[in-house]
Amino acid sequence: MDYGYGWQLQQDAEYGKIVSHGGSWPGFSAALIRYIDRNALIVYMSNAPETPEVEQSIILALENILFGKPFELPVRVELPTFIQVPAERLTAYAGTYALDNGVRIYVRTEGEMAYLQVEGQNRFPLQAISETEFRIRGVPGVVRFEGNKAAPETLVIVQGQELVALRTETEC
């Protein structure tokens, strides 16, 4: 898949040229998929709290409906129950972490909320599943803090694979 002027560009054997763009932010998600050679378009917009996997299954069902193929109705997955982690505990996670390739990941806190930001990308709220594991709101994945309870040395991002980042500094 190629990328140009903010659009994902794809040549599909069955549908021809496809131009698309999608995104999400806490509270909503959207996708626009234009099938150039078929003169067809899907516009997906949602403010329902779905997992990214459910949203992808909705978009696939829409594509199958659009092109007269059999489809399955997406199955709604129960979202995890979130817990409130005390602000002083969240503060222990705040700091800068680095991946092997040098990319930095920042964890910051504001009151009783923690945020994760990969260098050069948007920041995302973290929702606690346990005292050490957090769902990245709006992104398919979780973050886990490992090591010393007072100041964890490792941040692990799980998104199909595990990306391990080591702490390089604590937040002042």
Judged on CB neighbours under 10 Å (0-12, 13-18, 19+), 105 is buried
In 36-132, the DSSP E strands lie at 40-46, 95-98, 104-110, 113-118, 123-128
Q: What is the mean pLDDT of the chain?
A: 87
Q: How far apart are CA 74 and CA 138, in angstroms?
A: 19
Interval 21-41 mean pLDDT: 87
Are 155 and 148 a contacting pair, CB within 8 Å? no
State the pLDDT confidence band at 26, using cuts at 50, 70 and 90.
Answer: low
| 117-151 tens-digit pLDDT | 998 888 889 999 999 999 888 777 789 999 887 88
pLDDT in the model for residue 172? 46
| 80-115 tens-digit pLDDT | 788 888 888 889 999 999 999 999 999 999 988 999
Whether the pLDDT of residue 78 is over 80: the answer is: no
Interval 17-41 mean pLDDT: 88
pLDDT in the model for residue 109? 92
Cβ within 8 Å of residue 92, ≥6 positions away: 149, 150, 151, 152
| 32-66 tens-digit pLDDT | 999 999 999 999 998 876 667 778 888 999 999 99
pLDDT in the model for residue 48? 73
Among 6-10, 76-80, 82-86, 112-116, which is the least confidently predicted range?
A: 76-80
pLDDT in the model for residue 171? 65
Q: How far apart are CA 54 and CA 38, in angstroms?
A: 26
- The dihedral sign for the CA sequence 76, 12, 33, 30: positive
Are 113 and 120 a contacting pair, CB within 8 Å? no
